[in-house]
Amino acid sequence: MRYQFPRARFVDTDPKFDERQFLAMKRECNEIKHAIADREIPDRILEEVFDLLHTCETFIRRKEEEGVDVRIMRVFVEQKNRERGYYEGEEVA
């Protein structure tokens, strides 16, 4: 899989990685929520969105390193969303 961010150094050293990464995702979502509610500048909101993206990508990278076929899951999710009509220019099947 092609990643957008460098590999985080703690990915393979944390035995409670899944739980901690989930909590990190929740924190980033809260930071986005507060940035929007506080009507912060768009750059600040976007910064928090990228932090969330990096956190999610770190989780996916760890799963791939554990042997999960993340490409198949990505294809599955894309197909599911395509069937729901989420993509521009595509009709619901």
pLDDT > 80? residue 73: yes
Q: What is the pTM of this model?
A: 0.84
Taking CB atoms within 8 Å and a gap of at least 24, the contacts of 61-66 are 61/1, 61/3, 61/7, 61/8, 61/11, 62/11, 62/12, 62/17, 62/21, 64/1, 65/11, 65/12
Encode pLDDT of 12-61 as tens digits: 777 889 999 999 999 999 999 999 999 888 899 999 999 999 999 999 99
How does 40-69 read in b/e, with b if 16+ C-beta sit within 10 Å? eeeeebeebeebbebbebbbbbbbeeeeee
Question: Which one has a higher pLDDT value, 10 or 89?
Answer: 89
Q: Answer whether 48's CB lies under 8 Å from 32's CB.
A: yes
pLDDT > 70? residue 92: no
